[in-house]
Amino acid sequence: MDPVDILSIVTLGVPLYMVISFVAIISICLLLSRMQLGLAVSFLFVFYIGYFYNKTLLLKTIEGSIIGTVIYASLGLIIIILAMISFLSSSK
C-alpha cells in the first residue's frame, strides 16, 4: 500500500480534554517564557497521541512491524536525550 494512501485512510481522534489541557499547558509555558519546556511538552503530547493513544491503529497500519515500533521509540528517545542536553547546557 502506498504511504500516501495510508495517510488518506487513517483518522486519528484526539479527545477534547487532552487538546484543552495541551493548550493550557503550552500557554502557561509561553507566558512564563519557558520556550524549551514548551517544546518538550509539545513533543511529549505528540508522542503520546501518536503512539500510546492510537497504538492499535498504528500497529495495524504498519502491519505489526516490530522494526517500525523500535524506530519510532528510538527516535523519540533520541529527541528526549537531546532536549535534556539542551536543558542542562548553559548557553548564557
pLDDT tens digits, 55-79: 777 777 667 667 777 887 888 888 8
User: pTM, whole model, 2 decimals?
Assistant: 0.58
Question: What are the residues whose beta carbons fall under 8 Å from the beta carbon of 76, sequence distance 6 or more?
Answer: 43, 47, 51
**What's the chain's length in residues?**
92
Per-residue model confidence (pLDDT) at position 91 = 57
Which position has the grid cell 493548550? 23
Alpha carbon dihedral 22, 25, 28, 34, in 10-degree steps, equals: -100
Per-chain mean pLDDT for the chain: 77
**Percent over 90 (pLDDT), the chain:** 3
How far is the C-alpha of 83 from the C-alpha of 72, rounded, in Å?
17
Q: How far is CA 13 from CA 45, 63, 90, in A?
A: 14, 20, 39
